[in-house]
Amino acid sequence: MIAIALLLFMAASAFWLVRLRNLFAVVMLSGVYSLFAAALYLVMDAVDVAFTEAAVGAGISTVLMLSTLALTSRTEKSHNKLSVMPLLLVFITGGVLVYGTFDMPRYGDINAPIHQHVANHYIEKSAAEVGPPNIVTSILASYRGFDTLGETAVVFTAAIGVLAILGRVKGQGMSTSRVAYRRKEDVEEENKEDDKAVSDKKETTS
């Protein structure tokens, strides 16, 4: 019951998101959407996922989007032309996705494939094999250590990517000693590149 109410809230905020043209409100509303998602995960007993969703989806990503907004414009360009083709495509994709859910096992079904595979092993043996009472931690850190290492590498790569594109503007990201040694021409060239990067981003956002 609570889950259905939360899903309705999520759907409502998603529709509202599409209608809005003020990007500041859009960012705030997507944070609200994430918070509803976190509440939904909590209702479904996925505490760790809810925790992550609340921290990343509702918290950090909202702030990151806001700081991006500070660099670009705050309102979306309005275009009132109704395009039929994309609408049709969206409806077809949505219909296929909904059709796909008919084949999924019911929530909590004990015979679902997901409960027949390794889950039983984790629940029964993880206390003896790994130790921590929180099975999620055992799975993430020990049974699936490779996965987690990959994820950490992805986060690392993302940060490196952002640094490579945005990191060196106005000597912001550099220690002052190194800034002093940079040649004037280099600085000018970098500024040019950065301006280009910013304007590119503007184009993609609007």
Binding residues for another protein, per CB under 8 A? Answer: 22, 24-25, 47-48, 50-52, 55-56, 59-60, 63-64, 66-68, 70-71, 129-134, 136-138, 140-142, 145-146, 148-149, 151-153, 155-156, 158-159, 162-163, 166-167, 169-170, 172-175, 198
Nearer to another protein, 112 or 165 (CB): 165
Residue among 99, 100, 4, 102 at smallest CA distance from 44: 4
CB 120, min distance to another protein, A: 20
Q: For the CB of residue 198, give the shortest distance to another protein in the complex, in Å.
A: 7
The residue among 43, 41, 67 whose CA lies nearest residue 54 is: 41
Burial class of 100 by CB neighbour count within 10 A (0 to 12, 13 to 18, 19+): exposed
29, 17 contact by CB (below 8 A): yes
If the CB atoms of residues 39 and 50 are measured against another protein, the closer one turns out to be 50
Q: How far apart are CA 112 and CA 95, in angstroms?
A: 23
Nearest residue (CB) to another protein, 112 versus 167: 167
Question: 71 φ, ψ to 5°?
Answer: -90, -20
Q: Closest Cα partner for 174 from 152, 189, 190?
A: 190
119 versus 148: smaller Cβ distance to another protein: 148
Count the Cβ atoms, other than its own, within 10 Å of residue 37: 20
Q: Which is nearer to another protein, 93 or 206 (CB)?
A: 206
Nearest distance in Å: CB 137, another protein = 5
CB of residue 124 to another protein, shortest distance in Å: 16
**DSSP class of 54:** I
CB of 97 to another protein, least distance (A): 28
